[in-house]
Amino acid sequence: MIGMELTKQEQAMLDGKEGYAVCKSMEILVALGEIFGAKSLIKVGSVQVAGVSYQNLGDAGLEFLNELAVDGRVRVLTTLNPAGMDLENWQQLGISPEFAEKQNLVIDAFRRMGILISCTCTPYLIGNLPLYGEHLAWSESSAVTFANSVLGAKTNREGGPSALAAAFVGKTPNYGLHLDENRVPDVHVQVNAELTKLSDWGALGYAIGKKAENKIPYITGIKSVELDDLKSFCASVVTYGTKPLFYMKGVTPGAESQNQPKNTVTIEQSDIKNAYDNINDEVSDIDFVCVGCPHCSIKEIQEIADLINGKKVVEGTELWVATSRTAKQLADKRGYTATIEAAGGKFACDTCMAVAPLKGRFKALATTSAKGCFYSRQSLMKTKMGSMKECVDAAVTGKWNS
Ligand code: F3S
């Protein structure tokens, strides 16, 4: 006996009339709906699936995917989060053949399901661009936050299996951030700090995440912001503490129609400094520079190419540019790839520093990303966060100089 109202077709799916994968998916969706008090399922416009790296899936995860891939076929546009390696140039990134073999089996299962093998955390930059108000089932936390807060779409932060289930059914349980009553901001954040470089947005995300503590912030005081800043901010603010939704006055569609919460916190310059102090470790020798968390836009790749043109990555240090394959193909055409590779930099398409098997491989990371620092510490690296220029300088000197 279930409390959720199912249509005849949904009930038939649950009864196994549309195959194994759909039946299993309905079981997952109904169980989730029951736990969170959903009354029904709603259609989703697209799905974004995390849990793609073999490092996180292991053999049990691969087996689960292979079982679903027998008859499971996605019903809506479905894209993938980064995998554990560059699917084409994994050797160059030092990935072992054993890992590559398993990762390719994972990708093959997703391909059989009809999923676009896009492997990026910026699906909105490569053609999975939701509409305002559209319901989604996305997994990657930075992308979920971007979809909710910058685009005004509606998605919970799905786990890998629930996103996959939504893709096979084309629906998700109607609870959480799908409902307007759960999208009301509950803390006002007045930003008084000056933000001058990309990494300041990661620091701001850290500061707000810590002060807003699992709330939905209504952010005022932002004077100007660019797409790449928002991309970085979305990754950071949810990593360090908020729900995957914020309202930013002048940015978020519909922010003006929300009441500004009375409970106010402020972000001062000292909060930004405190964020850097907490994110940065005491370290000066850098053996790994990784930019592109979330995945680099073409504009960021252009900036890296301009900064590194005519220079050389120092021996003993690696520079990775993490991006989508789509952005890399544009970079190929524009000549940025040739410039970066001539300097000794490497492209890490389809993957990132958090999901590649890097534990114990590097000692100290330099990056533009607060989220990248959070996850790299789990891979036992010391971390430094700074501007794109500071990161490129670290790549060519092997030192952190600020
Ligand atoms: Fe994307 Fe990986 Fe960062 S998934 S947001 S590049 S940790």
Q: Strands 247-248, 217-220: parallel, antiparallel or unpaired by DSSP?
A: parallel
Structural domains in the chain, sorted by start = 8-180 (3.30.499.10), 184-278 (no CATH), 280-397 (3.30.499.10)
pLDDT number for residue 242: 84
pLDDT number for residue 259: 94
Write out pLDDT tens, residues 292-301.
Answer: 999 999 999 9
User: Which distant-in-sequence residues (6+ apart) come within 8 Å of 17 by Cβ?
Assistant: none
Atom of ligand 1 nearest to the CA of 355: 2
Q: How many CA atoms lie within 13 A of 215 on its CB side?
A: 17
pLDDT number for residue 263: 95
pLDDT, mean of residues 213-242: 96
What residues line ligand 1, using a CB cutoff of 6 Å?
81-82, 121, 140, 142, 235, 293-295, 322, 352, 354, 371-372, 375
Does 1 score more than 60 pLDDT? no
Atom of ligand 1 nearest to the CA of 143: 5
Strand ranges of the sheet holding 77-80, from the earlier edge strand across to the other edge: 77-80, 46-49, 137-138
Other beta carbons less than 10 A from residue 17's beta carbon:
11
Does 166 score more than 90 pLDDT? yes
Atom of ligand 1 nearest to the CA of 81: 4
pLDDT, mean of residues 231-240: 98
C-alpha to C-alpha distances, 384 to 59, 363, 369, 376, 391, nearest whole angstrom: 34, 11, 9, 10, 9
- What's the chain's Rg over C-alpha atoms? 21
- With bands split at pLDDT 50, 70 and 90, how would you rate the model's confidence at 401? confident
Burial 359-397 (b: 16+ CB within 10 A, else e): eeebebbbbbbbbbbbbbeebebbbbbbbbbbbbbbbbe
Does 399 score more than 60 pLDDT? yes
Cα separation, 354 vs 248, in Å, equals: 27
User: Which distant-in-sequence residues (6+ apart) come within 8 Å of 41 by Cβ?
Assistant: 4, 6, 10, 29, 33, 169, 171, 172, 173, 174
pLDDT number for residue 200: 98
Q: pTM score, two decimals?
A: 0.97
Write out pLDDT tens, residues 84-117.
Answer: 999 999 999 999 999 999 999 999 999 999 999 9
- With bands split at pLDDT 50, 70 and 90, how would you rate the model's confidence at 392? very high
Cβ 388 vs Cβ 302: under 8 Å = no
Write out pLDDT tens, residues 172-198.
Answer: 999 999 999 999 999 999 999 999 999
The conformational region for residue 310 under phi > 0 = left, psi -120 to 50 = alpha, else beta, is left
Task: For residue 289, give the 3-state DSSP assignment.
Answer: strand
Please name the residue ranges forming H helices in 254-354. Answer: 269-279, 298-308, 325-334, 336-342
Lowest mean pLDDT among 44-48, 216-220, 239-243: 239-243
Cα separation, 334 vs 246, in Å, equals: 35
- With bands split at pLDDT 50, 70 and 90, how would you rate the model's confidence at 169? very high
C-alpha to C-alpha distances, 89 to 94, 334, 349, nearest whole angstrom: 9, 20, 8
Pocket test for ligand 1, best of 55, 121, 377 (most atoms within 8 A of CB): 121
- Write down the residue that tokens 């995917």 correspond to: 65
Strand segments (E) across 179-241:
187-191, 217-220
pLDDT number for residue 181: 97
Cβ 188 vs Cβ 167: under 8 Å = no
pLDDT number for residue 152: 98
Burial 191-205 (b: 16+ CB within 10 A, else e): bebebeebbbbbbbb
pLDDT number for residue 2: 64
Name the residue at shortest CA distance from atom 7 of ligand 1: 354
Q: What is the pLDDT of the chain when averaged over all its residues?
A: 97
pLDDT number for residue 177: 98
